[in-house]
Homo-oligomer: A and B are copies of this chain.
Amino acid sequence: MASGETPRTATLTDVARLAGVSIATASKAINGRAQVRAETRTRVLEAAEQLSFAPNAVARGLLQGRTGTVGLLTSDLEGRFSIPVLMGAEDAFGAGQVSVFLCDARGDAIREQHHIRALLSRRVEGLIVVGSRTDPRPPLIGDLPVPVVYAYAPSENPADISITADNVSAGGLAIDHLLACGRRRIAHVTGDASYAAAQDRSRGAERAIKEAGLDLVGGRTFFGSWSEGWGRGVASMILDQYPDVDGFFCGSDQIARGVLDSLRESGKDVPRSISVIGFDDWQVLTTNTRPQLTSVDMNLEQVGRIAARRLFEAIEGKAASGIEELPCRIVTRESSVPVP
């Protein structure tokens, strides 16, 4: 049983010869076409089995003009937001008969261009472009011969197909949750104001609090950076300046962790006297804080799956362009409970 004999993968010709039929018949037998006697079919199938024949998808693709492949173009693989989207897409395709080419442009337009060329020459049937921020990105340049779907980061061109998370509504959700917990003096601390995500969530939050006839603590959103340090600092500042604050909506779980640490050190009781909610639902953070952190989950895998589905539809010609914003959901944990 020596392996590595370079047994040259069997071709349809080999199968046909072994079964004593023509390649045409062998093909029909294997693909379940009619026009083959049952007895002949089993003979072919046995031959195929014996040679462990696997139809050459390359040849088939060439013939039919359909390769059954798509390209997944990420702008950066480190990004913890791209990964779940990518997983969802891979999942949706893998379940079907589609294989996925993975390309990481590393945020470099040149590399992106290079990858696109390679993918097109491999005749992918479509492209999913996964961004690492929710800020709209410039569409792929050139008139591509295949449909493109933008995931997480929508395209700047509204005529393109984009799937992203509804950050504005998510901001509202978070505030509504805190209100439902009986909180009235809610602060919103978030990250870098240059991020669309920060702006969108803030807008949603402000709208929701207004609708409740209230105002955010400090009358505004506290923008800063996406870090624990910022969360710690701004929390102690707010605590100092607005001692009656009873709720924190944080723009990320990292910020929330900083806020929680700060509240702990100030002797505040979370969730009894103050509720805290984070954003991203990043397990390593939410389940290790004390108390565990309620957070907004963007359902990124779902974003990926829907993107895959939309790409599929576009390939089939049933395209519906525009930006599709998928709802987020709250994952409730210990840091926010209703006040009696």
A residues neighboring B (CB under 8 Å): 3, 6-9, 52, 54-59, 61-62, 67, 69, 72, 77-78, 83, 86-87, 90-91, 94, 97, 99-104, 106, 111, 115, 117-123, 142-143, 145, 227-229, 254, 257-258, 284-285, 288
CA A253 to CA B27, docked complex, whole Å = 56
CA A323 to CA B91, docked complex, whole Å = 31
Contact A288 B3 (CB under 8 A): no
- With A62-B62, A143-B3 known to touch, is A104 a contact of B118 (CB < 8 Å)? no
Q: For the complex formed by this chain, how many copies does it contain in all?
A: 2
Cβ–Cβ < 8 Å partners of A61 in chain B: 58
- With A58-B62, A58-B67, A77-B87 known to touch, is A227 a contact of B288 (CB < 8 Å)? yes
B9, B55, B58: the one contacting A145 at CB < 8 Å is: B9
Contact A59 B62 (CB under 8 A): yes
**Smallest Cβ distance from A279 to chain B, in angstroms?**
15
B62, B101, B120: the one contacting A100 at CB < 8 Å is: B101
B83, B101, B104, B254: the one contacting A101 at CB < 8 Å is: B101
Question: Would you give 11 A-B contacts (Cβ < 8 Å), ordered by A?
Answer: A54-B120, A56-B121, A62-B62, A78-B83, A97-B118, A99-B103, A99-B122, A100-B101, A101-B101, A102-B102, A229-B288
Q: Which residue of B lies closest to A61 (CB)?
A: B58
Contact A87 B104 (CB under 8 A): yes
Residue from A61, A117, A227 whose CB has the most chain B CB atoms within 10 Å? A61
- With A94-B104, A99-B118 known to touch, is A288 a contact of B228 (CB < 8 Å)? yes
